[in-house]
Amino acid sequence: MVATPDAPRLTNKWVVLAILLCVALVNYGDRYLLAGLVEPIKADFKVSDSFMGLLMGPAFALLYSIVAIPIARYADRASRIAIVCAGCAIWSAFTILSGMATGPWMLALARVGVGVGEATFQAPAYSILTAYFAAHQRGRAFAVMTLAVYFGQYLGYRAGPEIAASSDWRAAFEAMGIVGIVLAGLAFVIVREPPRTVGERVEHPRLVPLFARLWRTLSFRWMALGMALSTLSGLSFGMWGPALFARAYGLPITDANATFSLAFGMPGLVGTLLFGFLADRMAKRGPQWLLYLAAGASFSATLLILAVTWAPSVAVAQMLAIPSGLLGGGWSVGVMSALQYLLPDRFRATGTALALLLINLIGYVLGPLLAGNISDLVDGTPAYSLRVGLSCIIPTGLVGVWLMVKGGKSLAADRDRLSTATI
């Protein structure tokens, strides 16, 4: 983007991407910090898998999903970077309070606050990147942002237990929160709000009619539901994976977290970058290929993580993790690129938030909770019970694949209809 004489000079787009990536790292690191500390928190508070599933799922994700809607709607007409920075400060403060919890329900309330704060990030951040990057560069930009999932996992899985081992699990939350508050201040000082197109300022449709219009749009409906079910599958495994490795292979929690993060993290990073470039190439063949690419990767990743769940040894699990991490790391890039292609400028942030609401309610709220509840219901060893719980959830990703393919068939036509729709 080039500044005009009447507009302030914008921040370099790669600097913007780097800063938003750092904020996203803290965002995801906080989520996976809890997953990395499942066993010590369970031991300290003497709670069940069902309660830990509640902490990793509804306690965080329910309000996170709902609050994101009015925030994204506000972001369609207000300073997106100010919203992101304020949210980062809020969720970081509640992360610190998570470390101060003296009981399980106090921790649950703190996680609710974290979820409310983190609701400010995703839709406004993607809207900022869409404004800074041209269409042919967005796949790569979104892929870089997706790296935060894996670096965040590494922070949560590795840094958390290491800090907990030298102090206690509370210190890990406090350290993560302090880093987040510092980043919020830096982002607010450095990143300038990008200008909007005229079309973005003309219309701010009412929420209910907008949702109804988007739901009638087949490509929006199918890609949102497809991503939701694939997220339900992958996230459940991602949140419970370290605990599974600890229980199934008799590893100390620090070793289980290190093994899990390395087994999936590095291939996931490579896969994310690879699929960013592939998404840009596929988009030239037609936008529907973004969803076909995502569907193919998600199909293979789903089957592979199911195999990892029942791997007879940690060595076999690590071997299967390489291709599953590679494919699982990048499939969402195609869906998010297709979603940004579909949505017009004037309600892109709000439309993204509506899609994420569905994705999060199904994937984040239900996934960890259902896996934990099923685990508690199964009669067997802790490892066997958790394996059964995960095996009931992971195959939902295959239904998600089918829905993504359906969504690709009408994507281009639906975009044309939405661009001229009166809402």
Which segment of 78-87, 110-119, 198-207 scores lowest on mean pLDDT?
198-207
Model pLDDT, residue 267: 84
**How high does pLDDT run on average in the chain?**
86
Contacts of 45 (CB under 8 A, 6+ apart): 103, 104, 107
Model pLDDT, residue 214: 92
Question: For a pLDDT cut of 90, what percent of the chain falls above it?
Answer: 39
What CATH code is carried by the domain that includes residue 277?
A: 1.20.1250.20
Question: For a pLDDT cut of 70, what percent of the chain falls above it?
Answer: 95
Confidence of residue 202 (pLDDT cuts 50, 70, 90): very low
| Average pLDDT of span 364-372 | 88
Output the CA angle 131-136-142, nearest 5 degrees. Answer: 65
402 in a domain, yes or no? yes
Model pLDDT, residue 205: 65
Model pLDDT, residue 386: 94
Which segment of 161-165, 215-219, 371-375 scores lowest on mean pLDDT?
161-165
| Average pLDDT of span 357-384 | 89
d(CA 405, CA 179): 40
Contact status, residue 34 vs residue 55, Cβ threshold 8 Å: yes
Whether residue 276 is predicted with pLDDT greater than 60 in this model: the reply is: yes
| Average pLDDT of span 94-106 | 93
Which structural domain, as residue segments, surrounds residue 64?
A: 13-419
Whether residue 158 is predicted with pLDDT greater than 90 in this model: the reply is: no
Whether residue 346 is predicted with pLDDT greater than 80 in this model: the reply is: no
Q: Is the dihedral of CA 218, 350, 212, 116 positive or negative?
A: positive
| Average pLDDT of span 228-239 | 91
Model pLDDT, residue 252: 87
Runs of H (alpha helix) within 76-121: 80-99, 104-118
Whether residue 1 is predicted with pLDDT greater than 80 in this model: the reply is: no
Question: Where is pLDDT greater, at 73 or 359?
Answer: 359
d(CA 297, CA 389): 23
Whether residue 224 is predicted with pLDDT greater than 90 in this model: the reply is: yes
Whether residue 362 is predicted with pLDDT greater than 60 in this model: the reply is: yes
103 in a domain, yes or no? yes
| Average pLDDT of span 141-147 | 79
Q: What is the pLDDT of residues 47-61, one digit of tens each?
A: 999 999 888 888 888
Please give the C-alpha separations between residue 111 and each of 62, 69, 374, in angstroms, as whole numbers: 11, 19, 22
Whether residue 217 is predicted with pLDDT greater than 80 in this model: the reply is: yes
Confidence of residue 2 (pLDDT cuts 50, 70, 90): very low
Confidence of residue 399 (pLDDT cuts 50, 70, 90): very high
Contacts of 262 (CB under 8 A, 6+ apart): none
Which segment of 4-8, 244-248, 295-299 scores lowest on mean pLDDT?
4-8
Model pLDDT, residue 3: 44
Model pLDDT, residue 396: 95
Question: Where is pLDDT greater, at 421 or 84?
Answer: 84
Whether residue 7 is predicted with pLDDT greater than 60 in this model: the reply is: no
Q: b or e along 348-358 (b: 16 or more beta carbons within 10 Å of the residue's beta carbon)?
A: bbbbbbbbbbb
Model pLDDT, residue 204: 58
Specify the number of domains making up the chain.
1
**pTM for the full model?**
0.76
49 in a domain, yes or no? yes
2 in a domain, yes or no? no
211 in a domain, yes or no? yes
Output the CA angle 80-83-84, nearest 5 degrees. Answer: 90
Confidence of residue 32 (pLDDT cuts 50, 70, 90): confident
Confidence of residue 280 (pLDDT cuts 50, 70, 90): confident
Whether residue 150 is predicted with pLDDT greater than 80 in this model: the reply is: no
8 in a domain, yes or no? no
4 in a domain, yes or no? no
d(CA 403, CA 129): 27
10 Å Cβ neighbour count for 380? 11
126 in a domain, yes or no? yes
Burial zone of 190 (CB within 10 Å; 0-12 exposed, 13-18 middle, 19+ buried): middle
